Amino acid sequence: MLLSSILKELDLQLKGSDKEINSIHTLSEAGSDQLSFFNNDKYKDELSSTKAGAVLIEEKYAHLLPQDTVAIITNEPYLKLALASKMFAYKLQAKEGTPKAGQDCDISKRANFGENVVLGDNVIVMAGVYIGDHVTIGDNTIINPNVSVYHNTKIGSNCIIHSGTVVGGDGFGFAHTRTGEHVKIYQNGNVIIEDDVEIGSNCTIDRAVFGSTIIRKGTKLDNLIQVAHNCDIGAYSILTSQVGLSGSTVLGRNVVMGGQSASAGHLKIGDFATIAAKSGVTKTLGGGKTYGGFPAVEHTLWLRSQAKLALLLKKQKS
């Protein structure tokens, strides 16, 4: 839609040339036909290099944008982003379709499909499954009973998804008004699951706000795991039961996370790192090491601190 039409809905003024806008994305990823936003000094360095067609931004930062990027001046860029996201939200529909299936697929008559679903060869889809519009599933993948796969999801070959798991539900994202109301940020990205991935029962893999939530090749997820929007789980990682990843967490290759461990958002865990059970990751951690505790530190340091604490308590009692 035209940028001028978007701004009319947002009650904002266009100062600059009008242009076609087809979606919303981050400063670093947006192209000339996309709208972006700036509301956090953490991303200030990205302003000068953004290729976004237009950016929702406070006036004091507008001069940092490239000349060919239209500055949309607002005191509430994040709130205006939330309102704009609704304009680009996928239109859900109850209309069903027939999947385009490859050879030797085994599909339950009690499975339901949206439109334009494409299945590879030897795909098994069990009873109670729902697969939404524009989903693609690769060869030899098994979708067990009562799995829900939302629209635009891409699932690779040789995958197994166990019962009750939801792939592609909305991420948890809201902007807040000055009087405390919560305004939904529509999640307009998707989920990509690469080849040889196994996902346990009752897991939730949220779709991205923009772009993709990605589970890379060979990764194995236990039951009852939460993967928030825009996470990127590296190849051959292992996440055990009740792990929770906050939004935009990036795991490297072969990361192992113990039961009930979790991460804060917008951080990275390096290749071949191990996170002990019940640990809380609050900052970016390097690869090749084992971490434990809350906040998570190197495991040997955490063990020493626990030993010293126990010794201190023992002395106090005596």
| Residues 282 and 300: beta-carbon distance below 8 Å | no
From CA 32, how far away is CA 217, in angstroms rounded? 32
Task: Assign 3-class secondary structure to 192-223.
Answer: EECCCCEECCCCEEECCCCCEEEECCCCEECC
- State both tokens at 5: 């039409």
Q: What is the DSSP letter of 285?
A: B
Query: Are the beta carbons of 298 and 278 closer than 8 angstroms?
Result: no
Dist. CA 291–CA 300, nearest whole Å: 8
Picking from 298, 236, 246, the residue whose alpha carbon sits closest to that of residue 272 is 236
CB 125 within 8 A of CB 107: yes
Cis before residue 295, ω within 30 degrees of 0? yes
Q: Which of 25, 63, 229, 299 is catalytic?
A: 229
Among 101, 27, 231, 169, which residue's Cα sits nearest to residue 257?
231
Residue 266 designated active-site:
no
- Contacts of 53-58 with CB under 8 Å at 24 or more apart are 53/3, 53/19, 53/21, 54/3, 54/16, 54/19, 54/21, 55/27, 56/80, 56/81, 56/84
User: Which amino acid is located at 98 in the chain?
Assistant: T
Query: What does 16-85 look like in DSSP terms, one character per residue?
Result: S---B--EE--TTT--TTEEEE---GGGGGGTTT---SEEEE-GGGGGGS-TTSEEEE-S-HHHHHHHHH
Give catalytic residue positions.
229
